[in-house]
Structure 1
Amino acid sequence: MSWKKILDQLEEGSVRAAYPDGESWVANVKVKEAILDAFKAGENVGYGGIYEGFVDKDNLPPRLMLPEDGVRLVPGGSAIRRGAFVAKGVILMPPAYVNIGAYVDEGTMVDSHALVGSCAQIGKNVHLSAGVQIGGVLEPVGLSPVVIEDDCFIGAGSVIVEGILVKKGAVIAPGVTLSKSVPVYDCVQEKMLGKGAPIPERSVVVPGTRPISSDWGKSQGLSVSCPIIIKYRDEGSDASLELEEALR
């Protein structure tokens, strides 16, 4: 199948760059290969019209949204790239960017200065707060992208990269960084999750620190940042995170 057809299917939402497989997600290698083929096939050109002054691949222009698409794309510098799917009921506040291969499901809010990276998968009713960075993964093609499942809240300035999976209903507090090189500590279950392990359903993750174990590090009182699961969601936390329907 041609890369053009696959990009069309990505925009329709009929294919995705990753799909759930039991408790984990698996990269759709054919889709990612098609995206890379599209980059190879494209030539840098200067755009015209409302995109005058911008230069990019001629075959990957920003998508133009229409009222019947049901997406609220607020003016002010946001863009949805060719090959990205954005469902009805999604709101993008400026400036925000949704890159090629990404999937943003119904009712999700993408706030100002937020990035949804290439092939990232964002579920229903997710809130990506201001300044959130959701990393993209195109290469290697077999690596699953970042996945944020349904009903998650991602706090301002958080960074989630390297194919991390955030399970349904999880809350990531402002300023948390999640990557495969940093372990997550669960203070409720009193255990350390493996590096790159999925963030559990309905967990509340806050930024924390842990001491450096070397003798010199101890002598200097040094510590490094790490994410900490401080609690799991209850009725109180659900109420504080309830999405305001009037905004939609």
Structure 2
Amino acid sequence: MATHDLQKEIERHFAAGPAAIRSVPAMDAFLALRSALESGKVRAAQPDANALTRWRVNPWVKQGILLGFRLGALEEMPAGGLSFIDKDTYPARHFASGDGVRVVPGGSSVRAGAFVARGVVCMPPMYINAGAYVDEGAMVDSHALVGSCAQIGKHVHLSAASQIGGVLEPVNASPVVIEDDVLIGGNCGVYEGAIVRKGAVLAAGTILTRGTPLFDLVTGHVIRATADLPLIVPENAVVVPGARAVTKGKGQEWGLSLYAPAIVKYRDDKTDLSTTLEDLLR
């Protein structure tokens, strides 16, 4: 089915609400979408040079993912002597050696409807949710999460316990985007549609949300989300977690500080040398 025709079918069955339940054409449309997502032919968001953020959201894809939850029934999914229960429309994906995806033993799971490209390394235990897109050569390290519809670029390293937030509703909301060659440090969290541009580095413990101001110590600017734009980390920025003192009221009296991520430099040869361990691990 052509993508345009698939979009029309998904939008029609999603608009039908509960009436789509037990509809064979609705299930067929969903399964076609799930297959297209897993092959990478369809994405929840995709690069678009003409878009304000340089990314275009495809709301109909999110509608299709939500349609899958509506159509699915709870089913036991035994695995390795354990029993799991989930919607039968979203079983765990299975990979063959020919797929070129390295899934190290130890409890990782990739949900149906997620795209995982050749050369991706999955270190246990990690989780990739439906609608996510993980591009070539990325590493998803132990205890890392790639949420629904999150977009992960080529050669990204999501370090241990990093959390890349997902979003399904509202359907027009931008997912989190991590562009090519980004290093996300351990215990980082990127949420609420934030975009991390190509080559950026987030030091361990950095948390970014739509409401987080980002202090650029190099340019002297404060980067914030707006009504039209999410928080955007500039290309090659090196971001570290910081703090700023509360200067009034009880906060000042008690000597409190608030979390404040800061750009301390922009990536250079020295920073690149510190990330060459990536290649050895692959």
TM value normalised by structure 1: 0.96
**Change over 3 Å in CA distance of 1:95–1:217 after alignment to 2:** same
Q: State how 1:98-247 maps to structure 2 within 5 Å.
A: 98-195=128-225, 196-247=230-281
The residue number in structure 1 matching 2:72 is 42
Aligned residues: 248
Stretches of structure 1 lacking an aligned partner (at least 5 in a row): none
Deviations 1:78-109 (A, max 9, x none): 01100000000000000000000000000001
Q: Using the TM superposition, give the Cα deviation of residue 216 of structure 1 relative to its aligned residue in structure 2, in angstroms.
A: 2.2
Q: State how 1:71-82 maps to structure 2 within 5 Å.
A: 71-82=101-112
Q: Using the TM superposition, give the Cα deviation of residue 247 of structure 1 relative to its aligned residue in structure 2, in angstroms.
A: 2.8
- Is contact 1:46-1:52 (8 Å) kept? no
Deviations 1:154-204 (A, max 9, x none): 000000000100000000000000001110000000111113421000000
- Is contact 2:209-2:231 (8 Å) kept? no
In the alignment, the residues of structure 2 paired with residue 19 and residue 244 of structure 1 have an alpha-carbon distance, to the nearest angstrom, of 26
**Change over 3 Å in CA distance of 1:41–1:217 after alignment to 2:** same
- Is contact 2:126-2:144 (8 Å) kept? yes
**Change over 3 Å in CA distance of 1:206–1:64 after alignment to 2:** same
Stretches of structure 2 lacking an aligned partner (at least 5 in a row): 1-5, 7-28
Larger Rg: 2
Which amino acid in 2 is paired with 1:190? Answer: G
Which structure features the higher share of helix residues?
2
In the alignment, the residues of structure 1 paired with residue 38 and residue 261 of structure 2 have an alpha-carbon distance, to the nearest angstrom, of 34
Q: Using the TM superposition, give the Cα deviation of residue 215 of structure 1 relative to its aligned residue in structure 2, in angstroms.
A: 2.2
Deviates more, 1:160-169 or 1:237-246: 237-246
**Change over 3 Å in CA distance of 1:180–1:208 after alignment to 2:** same
In the alignment, the residues of structure 2 paired with residue 40 and residue 159 of structure 1 have an alpha-carbon distance, to the nearest angstrom, of 29
In the alignment, the residues of structure 2 paired with residue 104 and residue 146 of structure 1 have an alpha-carbon distance, to the nearest angstrom, of 12
Which amino acid in 1 is paired with 2:159? Answer: S
In the alignment, the residues of structure 2 paired with residue 50 and residue 97 of structure 1 have an alpha-carbon distance, to the nearest angstrom, of 17
Q: Using the TM superposition, give the Cα deviation of residue 49 of structure 1 relative to its aligned residue in structure 2, in angstroms.
A: 4.7
Q: Using the TM superposition, give the Cα deviation of residue 244 of structure 1 relative to its aligned residue in structure 2, in angstroms.
A: 4.0
The residue number in structure 1 matching 2:23 is none
User: SS of the counterpart of 1:48?
Assistant: strand
Of 50, 62, 65 in structure 1, the residue corresponding to residue 92 of structure 2 is: 62
TM value normalised by structure 2: 0.85
In the alignment, the residues of structure 1 paired with residue 40 and residue 108 of structure 2 have an alpha-carbon distance, to the nearest angstrom, of 20
Matched residues, percent identical? 52
Q: Using the TM superposition, give the Cα deviation of residue 39 of structure 1 relative to its aligned residue in structure 2, in angstroms.
A: 0.3
Q: Using the TM superposition, give the Cα deviation of residue 51 of structure 1 relative to its aligned residue in structure 2, in angstroms.
A: 6.9
User: SS of the counterpart of 1:54?
Assistant: strand
- Is contact 2:195-2:231 (8 Å) kept? yes
Q: Could you say what the CA RMSD is over the residues aligned between the two structures, in angstroms?
A: 1.3
Q: Using the TM superposition, give the Cα deviation of residue 245 of structure 1 relative to its aligned residue in structure 2, in angstroms.
A: 3.2
In the alignment, the residues of structure 1 paired with residue 131 and residue 179 of structure 2 have an alpha-carbon distance, to the nearest angstrom, of 16
User: SS of the counterpart of 2:232?
Assistant: coil
Which amino acid in 1 is paired with 2:255? Answer: G
Q: Using the TM superposition, give the Cα deviation of residue 219 of structure 1 relative to its aligned residue in structure 2, in angstroms.
A: 1.7
- Is contact 1:123-1:149 (8 Å) kept? yes
Q: Using the TM superposition, give the Cα deviation of residue 4 of structure 1 relative to its aligned residue in structure 2, in angstroms.
A: 1.2
In the alignment, the residues of structure 1 paired with residue 74 and residue 224 of structure 2 have an alpha-carbon distance, to the nearest angstrom, of 42
